[in-house]
Amino acid sequence: MAAVAYSESRFNDAAALYEQVLADHGISAKVYYNLGNAYYKSGSVAPAILNYERALLLNPGDPDVRFNLELARSRIVDKIEPLAEFLLIRWYNKLGNKLDSNSWAYLSLGFFALFIACLFVYFFAKKRSLKKSSFFVGILVLFFSIFALLYSARQREAIIHPNKAIVFSESVTVKSSPDQSGTDLFLLHEGSALRIKSTLGDWCEIELEDGNVGWIELKHIEII
């Protein structure tokens, strides 16, 4: 029904129906993606970005989601330039986003199975050269297994304990402290992404990709 409503350009109806699908059947990268498309077509940029981000949490390697997310981001007011990352960190993050948590877990298990096979060869092979090869290959695949497991855990942690959010208010003033008497630092607009560093009552301390920090009320944001 949601797909039919979308095909008939009834985007608000489609969004409501996709929301109901999520409520009835739980989270799904595909549904979040379709919901983001419905919100984008209806002109609701912040909900579109929110749902594209949620789709990426579940399926970080989907190029269609990333493309549509960037398209939606191009329509927001705030143009936040992220801080430059070290090459190694950028490579690490880019590689981690190739697969979802389950895929990394399966890959880890596969490498560990190869490690067990190498152990078997090492202990039972009679040729010295074969023992030596299995030893070094075993160390290598064990490293890959641990590496993949770390990626899986990182992806799972981001899903279970998300710390990113999207601004849903048309505009919000970021304060220097968690109260209205705090100094005004800067303004954020609908659709901007941020990271939650901590919470205190109805307020949360935030950090932007450009390194700026401050406090805003939780009512202005939706957690990814």
The whole-number pLDDT of residue 103 equals 93
The whole-number pLDDT of residue 89 equals 82
Average pLDDT over residues 68-81: 94
The whole-number pLDDT of residue 91 equals 85
Letter for the amino acid at 198?
S
Q: Is 77 helix (H, G, I), strand (E, B) or coil?
A: coil
The whole-number pLDDT of residue 81 equals 87
The whole-number pLDDT of residue 143 equals 95
Average pLDDT over residues 181-205: 95
Average pLDDT over residues 90-99: 84
The tens digit of pLDDT for each residue in 126-149 reads 888 888 899 999 999 999 999 999
Q: Which residues of 151-170 are buried (b: 16+ CB within 10 A; e: fewer)?
A: bbeebeebeeeebbbbbbee
Tell me, letter by letter, the H, E, C secondary structure of 113-133: HHHHHHHHHHHHCCCHHHHHH
pLDDT at 82 over 90: no
